[in-house]
């Protein structure tokens, strides 16, 4: 297949602003190209798409190549920062509109079989028919916007089968009618990028944007109650939330390590005793959970959203009641019961990039232009 990806519109690929969508897109671009499909990625200006060496070889051969096309324009405000009843704002000189126009131009000059949209925005849903090529949507978050919910329902009626999501928990936030009609594809990572670390240090880890919905306050609370240092990796999206958490828990030891490349992140993450996932919203999947497990790091997660479907309680980590910091602390005390090699094995068997790309290829193939 010849596939066009429409990237997230909130930030360039490689910046970390797009969160797990960036990793998902990169994994799929590499995995689909290894299967022999060609992928054109249309993304905001300044994007970087670093693939594995094996993918670079396929690019040189011209078989299953991956091409990045950067488009200038104003970035969009992330949906999770807005009230769900507020209209999704479109900035002047919108990068998403500009990317969409570029895809329309490409469809007029080159033959493509299918478009895969990663942007959590109404435009690709409402204007899908303008391209003349089947448009599919891999929705990256749960229900956050009334306007977006309507767009998802509408396109599922007019184009059955064109919407996929990462987890059953994510799909159910849109309602049982939506959940029954979407394709669940899970997620995956290039496991070979992650080194297995058989020995754990004492530190805990947090990986994600520094924001309220990611539960950074609970990270500080766990650190203070467990007397463990937490290393926080990710973009500092909301400094005020971080500062408020630090004031509320003066005994906490939480160090912000910044946003790291996958190579640097996996090395430092592998040194940690566990990954904390104390999110206050429904995570669509939780790529950081499988990244940690690939390194041999157990995951302690709230029973909320996709991570609870990934983690096997007592085998690859612990699933505890949402917003229960005491339960998280208690789980920290039982980390030595989790075999780290079991975490790695779980990812190899269920969440490899090859397995993920295979699921997505099967879905796209059923809808692509013949």
pLDDT, residue 215, reads 95
Are 206 and 332 in contact by the 8 Å Cβ rule? The answer is: no
86 lies in the same domain as 176? yes
Among the listed residues 200, 198, 206, the one whose alpha carbon sits nearest the alpha carbon of residue 230 = 206
Q: Is residue 303 part of a domain?
A: yes
Q: Among 14-18, 62-66, 186-190, 312-316, where is mean pLDDT lowest?
A: 62-66
Sheet order of strands, 229-233 included: 253-258, 229-233, 204-207, 274-277, 299-302, 317-320
Q: Is residue 370 part of a domain?
A: no
Instruction: Name 317's bridge partners.
Output: 299, 313
61 lies in the same domain as 117? yes
| Residue-range definition of the domain harbouring residue 85 | 2-189+352-365
Are 108 and 123 in contact by the 8 Å Cβ rule? The answer is: no
* pLDDT, average across residues 291-301: 97
Q: Is residue 266 part of a domain?
A: yes
pLDDT in tens, 110-140: 989 999 999 999 999 999 999 989 999 999 9
Longest dimension (CA), the chain: 62
* pLDDT, average across residues 285-293: 94
Q: Is a pLDDT exceeding 70 seen at residue 56?
A: no
Q: pLDDT confidence of 77, banded at 50, 70, 90?
A: confident
Q: Is residue 116 part of a domain?
A: yes
95 lies in the same domain as 219? no
Question: At 83, which CATH number?
Answer: 3.40.50.2000
Q: Is residue 119 part of a domain?
A: yes
Per the listing, tokens 């020995």 go with 199
How large is the angle between the packed helices 287-294 and 20-34, nearest 10 degrees?
A: 70
Angle at 32 between CA 28 and CA 38, to 5 degrees: 115
SS3 333: coil
Composition of the chain by helix, strand, coil, percent to 5: 40, 20, 40
Angle at 79 between CA 121 and CA 303, to 5 degrees: 115
pLDDT in tens, 148-163: 999 999 999 999 999 9
SS3 276: strand
Percentage of residues in the chain with pLDDT exceeding 70? 96
Are 174 and 142 in contact by the 8 Å Cβ rule? The answer is: yes
pLDDT, residue 86, reads 76
Q: pLDDT confidence of 27, banded at 50, 70, 90?
A: very high
169 lies in the same domain as 36? yes
Per the listing, tokens 């977006």 go with 148
SS3 250: coil
Q: Is 206 exposed, middle or buried (0-12, 13-18, 19+ CB in 10 A)?
A: buried
pLDDT, residue 280, reads 93
Domain total in the chain: 2
Instruction: Name 96's bridge partners.
Output: none
Among the listed residues 283, 299, 287, 229, the one whose alpha carbon sits nearest the alpha carbon of residue 262 = 287
43 lies in the same domain as 17? yes
Average pLDDT, whole number, for the chain?
92
* pLDDT, average across residues 235-264: 95
pLDDT, residue 78, reads 80
Task: Supply the Cα-derived Rg of the chain in whole angstroms.
Answer: 20
d(CA 181, CA 166): 13
250 lies in the same domain as 312? yes
pLDDT, residue 82, reads 73
pTM: 0.84
pLDDT, residue 353, reads 93
């Amino acid at each position: 297949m010849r596939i066009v990806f429409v990237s997230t519109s909130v930030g360039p690929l490689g910046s970390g602003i797009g969160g797990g969508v960036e990793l998902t897109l990169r994994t799929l671009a590499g995995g689909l190209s290894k299967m022999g499909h060609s992928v054109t990625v249309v993304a905001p200006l300044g994007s970087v798409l670093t693939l594995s060496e094996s993918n670079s070889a396929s690019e040189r051969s011209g078989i299953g190549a991956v091409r990045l096309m950067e488009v200038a324009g104003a970035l969009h405000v992330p949906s999770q920062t807005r009230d769900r009843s507020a209209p999704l704002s479109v900035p002047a000189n919108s990068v998403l509109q500009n990317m969409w126009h570029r895809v329309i131009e490409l469809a007029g000059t080159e033959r493509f079989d299918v478009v895969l949209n990663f942007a959590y925005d109404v435009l690709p849903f409402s204007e899908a028919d303008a391209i003349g090529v089947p448009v599919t949507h891999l929705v990256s978050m749960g229900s956050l916007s009334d306007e977006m919910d309507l767009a998802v329902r509408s396109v599922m009626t007019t184009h059955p089968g064109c919407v996929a999501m990462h987890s059953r928990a994510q799909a159910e936030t849109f309602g049982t009618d939506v959940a029954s009609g979407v394709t669940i594809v899970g997620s995956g990572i290039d496991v070979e990028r992650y080194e297995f670390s058989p020995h754990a240090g004492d530190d805990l880890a947090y990986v994600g944007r520094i924001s309220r919905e990611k539960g950074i306050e609970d990270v500080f609370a766990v650190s203070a109650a467990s007397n463990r240092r937490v290393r926080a990796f990710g973009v500092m999206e909301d400094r005020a939330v971080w500062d408020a958490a630090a004031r509320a828990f003066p005994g906490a030891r939480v160090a912000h390590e910044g946003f790291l490349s996958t190579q640097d992140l996996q090395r430092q993450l592998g040194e940690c005793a566990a990954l904390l996932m104390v999110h206050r919203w429904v995570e669509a999947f939780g790529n950081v959970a499988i990244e940690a497990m690939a390194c041999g790091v157990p995951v302690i997660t709230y029973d909320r959203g996709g991570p609870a479907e990934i983690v096997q309680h007592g085998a690859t980590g612990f699933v505890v009641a949402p917003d229960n910091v005491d339960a998280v602390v208690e789980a920290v005390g039982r980390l030595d019961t989790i075999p780290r090699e079991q975490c790695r094995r779980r990812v190899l068997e269920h969440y490899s990039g090859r397995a993920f790309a295979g699921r997505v290829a099967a879905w796209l193939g059923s809808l692509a232009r013949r």
